[in-house]
């Protein structure tokens, strides 16, 4: 008898569990509905206050955006030469310290009689660049595979220095467009005026020019030998197809090596000319940008920020009032 009633008892228990589950779901929907209903009634009750705060915030934000002067900036991209990176960062830090101290004597010494310190600031940082690709590494390995020629060694050294020398970004912040631009020009001129690095640049440029002239003389000599080789081939067809020639003094010259030497000399001359152009200043200016307005993020704009602050403050006060009423009723 007990065994016959057991399934009925089990079915009844399942029906009770399902009924309780549906009741819980129903209460949950009711709670959500009541929450949205209360929010709607709250907004309906305070709609005029909320609209007034929104309009007031927009009006004040718009007025402040017109009254308060906008902040400007000038971006200068530079590349330190002759291992002058540490000097660059130290001198920028020195200038920023003098800005914070409003040291007018220092700025007069660099040609700035009047400085508007309002919003004035200078920063520096490295320009992020992509890491050398695999093709760059293979190129350097290929150069190293050549014979230990002085020209090839200089090319490898220059390429490695170029890959490891990063550009840097100096940013000038200011509010007065005219004085800010003049400030940036004077400061960059001051940064590039250093007796030690000026001396290094002068010596380097003198050596590079001498190297170019010597390579040109060698290049003329190589061209003369190759010209004589071509003339001798016309006279003596027996040497046609040979990579060596016999000069009048009976010395044998490798013509393939001559062409290789000529290419190395041309490459070295081109490289030195590029370095002369690049190393004209201790801090080479890659790009001197124009004045540009600093655009804030959407929520950083006063016309957007102030209405949000007003509305948020009202909601906070209302919530605190609600908590106070609840605590008083306990």
What is the DSSP code string of 182-221? HHHHHHHHHHT--HHHHHHHHHHHHHHHHHHHHHHHHHHH
For 143, residues 6+ apart whose C-beta sits below 8 A from its C-beta are 152, 155, 156, 159
Could you tell me which of 44, 54, 38, 33 has the C-alpha nearest to residue 311?
Answer: 54
Work out whether the CA dihedral 154, 156, 158, 161 comes out positive or negative.
negative
Report the pLDDT value the prediction gives residue 209, as an integer from 0 to 100.
92
Both tokens of residue 283?
A: 């801090």
pLDDT digits (tens, 9 = 90+) for 307-328: 888 888 888 888 887 777 777 7
The fraction of the chain above a pLDDT of 70, given in percent, is 71
Gap between the Cα atoms of 198 and 188, Å rounded: 15
Mean pLDDT, residues 99-121: 92
Say how many C-beta atoms besides its own lie within 10 A of residue 135's C-beta: 7
Residue 104 confidence class, pLDDT cut points 50, 70, 90 = very high
pLDDT, one tens digit per residue, over 19-28 is 677 777 777 7
Does 15 score more than 60 pLDDT? no
Residue of higher predicted confidence among 148 and 67:
67
The total of other beta-carbon atoms located within 10 Å of residue 6's CB is 9
* Cα–Cα distances in angstroms (integers) from residue 292 to residues 46, 53, 54, 295, 312, in the given order: 43, 33, 31, 9, 33
Q: pLDDT confidence of 276, banded at 50, 70, 90?
A: confident
Residue 93, classed as helix, strand or coil, is helix
For position 68, what pLDDT does the model report?
64
At residue 47, φ and ψ (nearest 5 deg) are -60, -40
The pLDDT assigned to 2 comes to 46
Residue, of 246 and 42, whose pLDDT is higher: 42
Check pLDDT > 80 for residue 206.
yes
What is the rounded distance in angstroms from the CA atom of residue 86 to the CA atom of residue 83?
A: 8
Residue 170: its pLDDT value, please? 95
| pLDDT over 70 at 257, yes or no | yes
Instruction: Give me the chain's average pLDDT, please.
Output: 78
Q: Please check the confidence at residue 171 and state whether its pLDDT lies above 90.
A: yes
Does the structure show a pLDDT above 60 at 85?
Answer: yes
User: Is the predicted pLDDT of residue 210 greater than 90, yes or no?
Assistant: yes
**Residue 226 pLDDT grade (very low, low, confident, very high; cuts 50, 70, 90):** confident
**Is the pLDDT score of 299 beyond 50?**
no
How does pLDDT run across 187-202, given as a tens digit for each residue? 999 999 999 998 998 9
Contact 298, 61 (CB under 8 A): no
Distance (Å) of CA 281 to CA 27, 163, 166, 286, 317: 78, 19, 16, 11, 62
Work out the average pLDDT over 29-35. 81
């Amino acid at each position: 008898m007990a065994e016959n009633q057991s399934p009925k008892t089990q079915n009844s228990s399942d029906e009770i569990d399902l009924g309780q589950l549906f009741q819980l779901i129903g209460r949950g929907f009711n709670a959500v509905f009541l929450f949205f209903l209360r929010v709607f009634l709250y907004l309906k009750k305070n709609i005029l206050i909320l609209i007034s705060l929104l309009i007031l915030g927009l009006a004040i934000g718009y007025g402040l955006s017109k009254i308060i002067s906008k902040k400007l900036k000038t971006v200068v991209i530079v590349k330190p030469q002759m291992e002058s990176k540490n000097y660059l960062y130290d001198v920028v830090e020195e200038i920023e310290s003098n800005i914070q101290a409003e040291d007018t004597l220092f700025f007069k010494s660099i040609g700035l009689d009047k400085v508007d310190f309002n919003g004035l600031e200078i920063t520096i940082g490295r320009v992020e660049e992509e890491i050398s690709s695999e093709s760059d590494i293979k190129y350097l390995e290929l150069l190293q595979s050549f014979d230990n020629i002085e020209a090839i060694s200089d090319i490898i050294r220059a390429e490695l220095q170029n890959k490891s020398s990063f550009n840097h970004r100096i940013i000038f912040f200011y509010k007065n467009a005219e004085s800010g631009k003049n400030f940036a020009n004077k400061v960059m001129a001051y940064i590039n005026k250093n007796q030690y690095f000026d001396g290094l640049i002068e010596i380097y440029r003198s050596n590079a020019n001498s190297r170019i002239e010597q390579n040109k003389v060698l290049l003329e000599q190589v061209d003369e030998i190759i010209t004589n080789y071509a003339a001798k081939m016309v006279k003596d067809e027996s040497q046609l197809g040979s990579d060596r020639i016999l000069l009048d003094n009976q010395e044998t010259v490798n013509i393939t090596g001559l062409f290789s030497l000529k290419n190395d000399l041309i490459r070295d001359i081109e490289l030195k000319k590029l370095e002369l152009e690049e190393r004209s200043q201790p801090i080479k200016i890659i790009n001197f940008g124009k004045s540009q307005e600093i655009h804030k993020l959407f929520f950083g704009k006063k016309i957007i920020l102030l209405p949000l602050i007003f509305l948020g403050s009202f909601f906070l006060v209302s919530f605190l009032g609600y908590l106070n009423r609840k605590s008083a009723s306990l």
